[in-house]
A and B are shown apart, each in its own frame.
Chain A
Amino acid sequence: MKKVHVSTTVNGQPEEALCEVHQSLLDLLRDELGLTGTKEGCGTGDCGACTVLLDGRLVCSCLVLGVEAEGKEVTTIEGIADPDRLHVVQQKFLEHAALQCGICTPGFIVAAKALLDKNPDPDETTIRYWLAGNLCRCTGYDKIVRAVQDAAQELAQSS
């Protein structure tokens, strides 16, 4: 089967890739561009481990075709930190021990950052609603919610 040429932007960098038509955006990122920070847990949009931003919108990259990334901007876990400094959400996940095995963590962090970019002062219900699409089997959700609350507080103080 002939591959399709895809021009896209990932974490601010222009990228070119050849993609089979059945390949998901997740496959494109992991297999063609070597960005393995985005994980596959289920392949059916249930676990959220593959969460990325597509033109600023939170999506499960396993449910988006790779060819749909044409001309769009993708943000993955690899694009969250500055080269010299973690994003505050990442830092708070560390401080609150909001991760254990770490397989779900990239998806949670991308989703949490997307929330804080949109709503810098979310209440607990809003945080839980935004993270409802992400499953964690190790830590439970409490530490994750507290990490996001703390990140929001720190962002509010620094702005």
Chain B
Amino acid sequence: MAEALDLKAIGTRPIRPDGVDKVTGRANFGADMALPGMIHAKVLRSPYAHARIKSIDLSKALELDGVFAAICGRDLPQEGANDLSINILAREKALYHGHAVAAVAASSAALADRALDLIEVDYEELDPVLTIDDAIANGATLVNENMYTNGDRSQPPSNVAAQQKFERGDVDKGFSEADVVVEEEYRVPTAHQGYIEPHACIADINEAGRATVWCCTQGQFDVRSMTAGVLNKKVSDIKVIPSEIGGGFGGKTTIYLEPVAVKLSEMSGRPVKMVMNREEVFRATGPTSATLCRIKVGAKRDGTITAATAWLAYEAGAFPGAPVGPGCMSVLAPYNLENLRIEGLDVLVNKPKVAA
């Protein structure tokens, strides 16, 4: 068949164009770049899954020889600060164990790490919300006191950021016609993609306010617009150059370090490099959602499904945006059903925001 069609690509075994650079160690990944005069920044992360931040004192860290700059949430633009900005540096509350609270730039990464120990943060520990069951229980502690389901302020605030429903036919009638009804509950825990390359970037901003960011990302234009948004800059003032990427699997479509590196570069006048370690990747970057699903299916003895319902609750992490919509759209999609009801919940918990 293939011979008859004289195909040019199908049936061949091309060698990937980036292959030689990757088998020789020549390929440059996120942490492989270096610039003249470059300094290094590290992030102080919350030791609590949920805590009110009463005060942050950077002064002792700034006094250490070799420290160039230090920032915390109040140093980022406050007006219109979105979830991304609050995830990058916590404001009033630390929302998960590992939430970035402050960052220090110093002449070496080791020195920046030492300076982190000198930052004084006064926390008031709060009850953490760690499971869907806890999050949706009556009287649950609120991850975000200003979160109203679907934005409906006529109801009290809730950890359910959004709720959606799809319905067709008459489910009760369908189940009454079934010979067998099966109802099961399924729990899937959080899973991190575990890409081998930790997140890394270098930022260099000049005196005219134009920044260049080198980073390992699945989308350099998204990184540019997100970084500009967090820093209240024009996208034309930021150029993002992607490196090779050591795995992302959906986890490198967002930003964690880039605005912090740009800000520290602005304050120090130096290129600033930031590289996460493995622990930071697991504590503070986006995994896929943990889920709790209840599925009920009614069928006749000949196998015809008469009705099905699906109740899907997805953990979003500390900010809304779990991929429960696609879950709702696909959960019963393979079946030709006359009677169905699907409900999806986007649930806040004190864990990193999901990113896959």
List the interface of chain A (C-beta within 8 A of B). 20, 22-23, 30, 34-44, 47, 49, 76-78, 80-81, 86, 90, 93-95, 97, 99, 101-106, 109, 135-138
A49 engages B25 (CB within 8 Å): no
In the complex formed, the residue of B with least CB distance to A103 is B246
B196 engages A99 (CB within 8 Å): no
B166 at the interface (CB under 8 A from A): no
- Residues from chain B with Cβ under 8 Å of A23 in the complex: 110
CB-CB nearest 4 A-B residue pairs? A37-B25, A103-B246, A102-B22, A77-B25
Identify which of residues 230-250 in chain B touch chain A, using a CB-to-CB cut-off of 8 Å: 244-247, 249
Query: Is the interface on chain B under 10, 10 to 19, 20 to 34, or 35 or more residues?
Result: 20 to 34
- Residues from chain A with Cβ under 8 Å of B110 in the complex: 20, 22-23
| Alpha-carbon separation in the docked complex, A144 to B31 (Å) | 25
- Residues from chain A with Cβ under 8 Å of B197 in the complex: 39, 41, 101, 103
A94 engages B16 (CB within 8 Å): yes
Contact of B23 among A42, A90, A101, A138 (CB under 8 A): A90
Identify which of residues 23-37 in chain B touch chain A, using a CB-to-CB cut-off of 8 Å: 23-29, 31-32, 34
B333 at the interface (CB under 8 A from A): no
List the interface of chain B (C-beta within 8 A of A). 13, 15-16, 18-29, 31-32, 34, 108, 110, 193-198, 244-247, 249, 277-278
B196 engages A44 (CB within 8 Å): no
In the complex formed, the residue of A with least CB distance to B29 is A103
- Residues from chain A with Cβ under 8 Å of B196 in the complex: 39, 41-42, 47, 49, 101, 103-104, 135-137
A137 engages B24 (CB within 8 Å): no
Determine which residue in A30, A93, A101 has the highest number of CB atoms from chain B within 10 A of its CB, and name it: A101
Interface of B is mostly: loop
24 pairs, A vs B, C-beta closer than 8 Å: A30-B31, A30-B32, A37-B25, A38-B25, A39-B29, A40-B31, A41-B197, A41-B198, A41-B278, A76-B25, A77-B24, A78-B25, A80-B24, A81-B24, A86-B20, A93-B23, A97-B13, A101-B245, A101-B246, A102-B27, A103-B195, A109-B23, A137-B196, A137-B247
| Alpha-carbon separation in the docked complex, A106 to B23 (Å) | 6
- Residues from chain A with Cβ under 8 Å of B198 in the complex: 40-41
Minimum Cβ distance to chain A for residue B217 (Å): 13
- Residues from chain A with Cβ under 8 Å of B249 in the complex: 137
- Residues from chain A with Cβ under 8 Å of B32 in the complex: 30, 36
- Residues from chain B with Cβ under 8 Å of A38 in the complex: 25
A101 engages B25 (CB within 8 Å): no
Contact of A99 among B23, B26, B31, B108 (CB under 8 A): B23
Contact of B24 among A34, A37, A41, A47 (CB under 8 A): A37
- Residues from chain B with Cβ under 8 Å of A36 in the complex: 25, 28-29, 31-32
- Residues from chain B with Cβ under 8 Å of A135 in the complex: 196
Minimum Cβ distance to chain B for residue A81 (Å): 6
Given the interface pairs A20-B110, A41-B278, A43-B277, the reply to whether A138 lies near B247 with Cβ below 8 Å is yes
| Alpha-carbon separation in the docked complex, A40 to B245 (Å) | 13
| Alpha-carbon separation in the docked complex, A41 to B31 (Å) | 10
Minimum Cβ distance to chain A for residue B229 (Å): 28
Minimum Cβ distance to chain B for residue A87 (Å): 9
A94 engages B20 (CB within 8 Å): yes
Minimum Cβ distance to chain A for residue B108 (Å): 8
- Residues from chain B with Cβ under 8 Å of A81 in the complex: 24
Minimum Cβ distance to chain B for residue A50 (Å): 11
B195 engages A137 (CB within 8 Å): yes
